[in-house]
């Protein structure tokens, strides 16, 4: 996405929550890839955490994480050698002043923290004030519901310009998700049939084999709807359904996303009928025995957190009226099915004489591995009048950078194109609010499925 452009605007990257899983598993490997891509000439890295850690231990951690993202080049070595760790309470204005003083050049502050802590840290930052040009990067979920997201946006607007706020959604850094733009807008053939006139339904599925993986502290308060659908999948849906932007700059792209999200509502306005939810019980995935979600350490079973969610949305505009968008995501499922499937309508008339019943043409964009397949009907090999199915199949090359490398390239060049604008985040919360409240009230029963299955048997 940023081919030869240097990403040198930021002098110091400060990671809040540096001792956490997100920093170790995703952020730092992404940073290592970016440093290796020749797009950066120098950077100071400061890790900040609540727990004590020596500089030596921190550098070892950074080295391990960089290695997991690829080879460590000269620049990455230099960044590690100069990097240091600061123990601090990010909700304390005094500690934040100390951190800002240690930064060199323009700082980017990355909040790899739970949403409730991020909210408190932003309140403290408002008291401290920020050096001109400071960039803030905030991980999802942004707020814990519409009200808290709006309040956080209002607060941020008081002390940092919107153009310097990067609300991170790493799905926007995934090469396949970005390829949706090329596929749709750089080819004449798809856009002509990209509407309710020709499309029957769209399915966006992100099934994972991963289970809770020790994240109860965050996940048990979020659940599949907030963790995946409210954020990532609605953003993917926006890319699939938006009107063609006139350019790929931040205003145009995010404007098109916001516009289509404003038109998106729970299917037929019925929050009870439009969604279903389930939670996994004990089972086995690829030989790994998993306990029931409700028995996992840190889970409060009474909270009835769903680990699988399916919701149908409608985009109420001229292009999409009447087309259901099915969004589904779940954990501890048998298959790692991560794809977008566009199902086309049947032909208006099949010439008499063909044998066999043609299925609908389907365009499948797979996220893991990245590729595109077009399932079409053709004449069969043996009997030419007997219809057969063929798949036109292409692999997408993976991008040079992984999603977090791409996201960090945007942050370190302060280009917000691949981050979420304030209204986009709020629309995503607004869209799921009726479903969240129906589920919280218990209006939709919590089904169960065995870990390692396809989901509840009654759903099939
Ligand atoms: C994260 C969710 O944002 O995205 C996780 O919190 C999920 O629960 C992950 O597993 C999926 O994205 P990826 O890129 O790791 O497959």
Q: Which helix (H) or strand (E) holds 203?
A: strand 199-207
Q: Is 232 a catalytic residue?
A: yes
DSSP state of 54: -
Ligand 1 pocket test, pick from 113, 229, 232 with the greatest ligand atom count within 8 Å of Cβ, gives: 232
Is CATH 3.30.360.10 what the domain over 172-399+419-459 is classified as, yes or no? yes
Q: What is the pLDDT of residue 7?
A: 64
Residue nearest to atom 8 of ligand 1 (CA): 227
Q: What is the pLDDT of residue 28?
A: 97
Extract the runs of DSSP E, i.e. beta strands, from 260-330: 264-266, 275-281, 283-285, 288-290, 308-315, 324-330
Ligand 1 pocket test, pick from 140, 178, 227 with the greatest ligand atom count within 8 Å of Cβ, gives: 227
The CATH code belonging to domain 12-139 is 3.40.50.720
- Which tens digit of pLDDT belongs to each residue from 370-414? 899 999 999 888 888 899 999 999 988 777 789 999 999 999 999
12-139 shares its CATH topology with 172-399+419-459: no
Q: Label residue 6 by pLDDT band (50, 70, 90).
A: low
- Which tens digit of pLDDT belongs to each residue from 46-92? 999 999 999 999 999 999 999 998 889 899 999 999 999 999 999 99
User: Measured in angstroms, how far is the CA atom of residue 321 from the centroid of ligand 1?
Assistant: 30
CB of residue 210 inside a 6 A radius of ligand 1: yes
Domain ranges in the chain are 12-139, 172-399+419-459
Which residues have a Cβ under 8 Å from the Cβ of 414 and sit 6 or more positions away?
9, 10, 108, 133, 135, 163, 164
Q: In 186-298, where does DSSP find H-type helix? A: 188-191, 216-224, 234-241, 250-262
- Which tens digit of pLDDT belongs to each residue from 173-197? 988 888 899 999 999 999 999 999 9
Q: Which residue has the tokens 């990455």?
A: 76
């Amino acid at each position: 996405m940023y081919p030869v452009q240097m990403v040198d605007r930021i002098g110091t990257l400060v990671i809040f929550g540096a001792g956490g899983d997100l920093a170790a598993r995703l952020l730092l490997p992404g940073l290592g890839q970016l440093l290796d891509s020749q797009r950066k000439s120098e950077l100071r890295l400061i890790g900040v955490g609540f727990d004590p850690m020596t500089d030596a231990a921190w550098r070892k951690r950074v080295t391990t994480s960089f290695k997991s993202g690829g080879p460590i080049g000269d620049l990455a070595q230099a960044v590690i050698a100069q990097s240091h760790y600061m123990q601090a309470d990010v909700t304390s204005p005094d500690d934040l002043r100390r951190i800002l003083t240690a930064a060199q050049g323009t700082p980017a502050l990355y909040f790899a923290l739970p949403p409730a802590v991020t909210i408190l840290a932003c309140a403290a930052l408002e008291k401290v004030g920020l050096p001109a040009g400071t960039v803030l990067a905030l991980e999802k979920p942004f707020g814990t519901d519409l009200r808290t997201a709006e309040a956080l946006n209002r607060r941020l607007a008081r002390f940092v310009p919107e153009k310097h706020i990067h609300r991170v959604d790493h799905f926007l850094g995934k090469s396949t998700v970005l390829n949706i733009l090329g596929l749709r807008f750089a080819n004449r053939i798809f856009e002509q049939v990209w509407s309710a006139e020709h499309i029957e339904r769209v399915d966006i599925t992100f099934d994972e084999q991963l289970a809770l993986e020790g994240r109860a502290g965050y996940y048990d308060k979020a659940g599949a709807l907030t963790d995946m659908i409210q954020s990532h999948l609605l953003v993917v849906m926006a890319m699939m359904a938006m009107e063609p932007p006139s350019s790929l700059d931040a205003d145009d792209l995010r404007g098109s996303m916001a516009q289509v999200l404003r038109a998106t509502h729970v299917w037929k306005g019925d929050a009870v009928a439009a969604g279903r939810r389930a939670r996994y019980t004990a089972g086995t995935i690829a030989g790994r025995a998993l306990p029931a979600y409700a028995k996992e350490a840190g889970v409060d079973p009474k909270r009835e957190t769903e680990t699988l969610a399916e919701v149908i949305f409608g985009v109420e505009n001229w292009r999409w009226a009447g087309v259901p968008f099915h969004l589904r995501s779940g954990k501890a499922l048998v298959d790692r099915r991560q794809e977008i499937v566009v199902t086309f309508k049947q032909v208006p008339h099949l010439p008499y004489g063909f044998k066999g019943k043609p299925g609908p043409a389907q365009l499948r964009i797979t996220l893991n591995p990245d590729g595109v397949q077009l399932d079409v009907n053709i004449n069969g090999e043996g009997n030419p009048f007997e219809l057969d199915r063929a798949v036109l199949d292409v692999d997408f090359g993976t991008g040079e950078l992984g999603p977090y490398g791409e996201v960090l390239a945007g942050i370190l060049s302060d280009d917000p194109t691949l981050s979420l604008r304030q209204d986009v985040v709020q629309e995503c919360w607004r869209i799921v609010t009726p479903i969240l409240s129906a589920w919280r009230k218990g209006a939709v029963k919590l089904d169960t499925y065995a870990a390692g299955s396809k989901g509840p048997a009654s759903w099939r």
